[in-house]
Structure 1
């Protein structure tokens, strides 16, 4: 018996290797699970920088319109096919198309 065991210190035991499907190779992430991935850049999103929009996690800096880059909030957000847009860009690119749309009141004809 060595001196450490007499003091009640047990020798370090080696834990058996447990395979995981977590792509993060750090020991901390393997043991406790990795962070969610940002929907725009794919990097890990931690609680201090996380914004949830359209049901997905985003970095604060990535939570922007995919077309114009304008910073978004939950009230100014629209989502299409997994990407987020401001309401203006969404209306321009996904709104109604064809003759008669978007001309305003000046194109109306008054009949008497």
Structure 2
């Protein structure tokens, strides 16, 4: 009988160690959930180099258009299926296609 039991203290039988499934073994990463991964290159993204776009973390250098490679900002980017594009490439590749688009107001037919 240990000293606590003689004084009437009951010990919880809960395990003191919970194993993690995280591949990162550092104490800091285990405590705070590790680092997020860049959506473009897959490497760890730390707070000093992190940009959020399309709801995902990116490195500042990876935050570029998927088509032309132009550097993006939150106001100049658009997103489609998890990938980010500049507004020009997005319009060129995913915008409306067919007759009558992009010709200006002179091509519109006015019905009486």
**TM-score under structure 1 normalisation?**
0.72
**Cα distance between partner residues in 2 of 1:101 and 1:93:** 14
Say if 2:43 is the partner of 1:29.
no
Say if 2:65 is the partner of 1:65.
yes
**TM-score under structure 2 normalisation?**
0.72
Runs of 5+ unmatched residues, structure 1: 1-15
SS of alignment partner, residue 30 of structure 1: helix
Aligned pair count reads 95
Dislocated runs of 4+, deviation >2 Å:
16-19, 23-33, 102-106, 108-111
Are residues 45 and 109 of structure 1, via their aligned partners in 2, closer, same or farther at CA, if it must alter by over 3 Å? closer
Quote the residue 1:96 is aligned against: 96
Q: 1:24, CA displacement in angstroms?
A: 2.4
**Cα distance between partner residues in 2 of 1:83 and 1:44:** 18
Are residues 38 and 86 of structure 1, via their aligned partners in 2, closer, same or farther at CA, if it must alter by over 3 Å? same
Q: How does 1:10-25 map to 2 (within 5 A)?
A: 18-25=18-25
**Cα distance between partner residues in 2 of 1:86 and 1:53:** 12
Runs of 5+ unmatched residues, structure 2: 1-15
Quote the residue 1:51 is aligned against: 51
**Cα distance between partner residues in 2 of 1:110 and 1:79:** 33
Q: 1:65, CA displacement in angstroms?
A: 0.3
Are residues 48 and 110 of structure 1, via their aligned partners in 2, closer, same or farther at CA, if it must alter by over 3 Å? closer
